[in-house]
Amino acid sequence: MIPWKVNGADGVLMCGIVRQMQADVQPREDSVAKSAVTPERFAKGRTFDEYVTYVASPENLAREAFGGRYLPDGGSASGRRADNSAVFRERYDRLRLSDQQTAAIKWLVAQPGGPARILVISEDWSSDCRRDVPMLARLAEAGGMELRIFNRDGQKILATRRPDPAAAPDANHDLMLEFMKKTETGEWASVPVAVFYTKDFRELHRYIEFPAIYHKDLIRGHQGKAHPGEMAEQTRERAGREFMALQKSPFFDVWASAGIDEILSALHEKVVVGAR
């Protein structure tokens, strides 16, 4: 919320604050009323085990994946999909919540109006999904919450910045439209999305793509800068190797844990303070 003044009058300032508060609240009320997330729709998602099994399936491997570059309007070029199920399994088997994280989610779940369900939108070609989804599964287990995972795309990868549900009826683009990432450059269909709900499907918090402490664009931009004497293809290949090494480094686990900390802090604020 950003209050404003007119002619320096405090009364006008307060009216501005009230009007802005009303504007902030109303869209959330409308979004709840029009949400595509119903109990029936939520039940159609996959559990973590079901999702990892699906990732390795011929059905999933036949779908388009990210092709390593973006199209002019911000959509993705397509490529072949690899079997990433082993990465999800390895990360789930190896990673654990800290004692503090476990105690925090148990406390939150026990509160009136606390979190009870998590809806996740994922694509296994995404490094952010491979980093975060196993930890989200651990969080759901620790809190006894119901977790359901949905693909973002259908057979074809999203080739435009903004999804059109009518153009891809086999996708979950209606869900994606509800949880777009908003930045100063526009709206993006970023994954993963993790939305936390109460038992009666009141939204508490949404987490999108990566934690604030992970400055991904800065890091990837640095990796993609040409070194002296490099040709464009050499730069692309080196940047790809450096990014793969980063995904196998301790820092990916640090950021996975940071994502959980960020979620827990936001849920605590919502449960204790309430909607703002």
Per-residue model confidence as pLDDT tens digits over 166-210 = 999 999 999 999 999 999 989 999 999 999 999 999 999 999 999
Mean per-residue pLDDT of the chain: 89
- Give the lowest-confidence range in 18-27, 125-134, 165-174, 228-237: 18-27
pLDDT at 97: 98
Query: How many whole angstroms separate alpha carbon 81 and alpha carbon 125?
Result: 7
Percent of the chain with pLDDT over 90: 80
Per-residue model confidence as pLDDT tens digits over 27-74 = 444 444 589 999 999 999 999 999 999 999 999 999 999 988 877 777
CB 106 within 8 A of CB 143: yes
Highest CATH level, class, for 36-272: alpha beta
Q: Is the pLDDT of residue 257 over 90?
A: yes
- Per-domain residue ranges for the chain? 36-272
- The pTM (predicted TM-score) of the whole model is 0.85
Q: What is the mean pLDDT of residues 16-32?
A: 41
Q: Which residues contact 132 (CB under 8 A, 6 or more apart)?
A: 192, 194, 207, 210, 256, 259
- Give the lowest-confidence range in 22-26, 64-68, 129-133, 165-169: 22-26
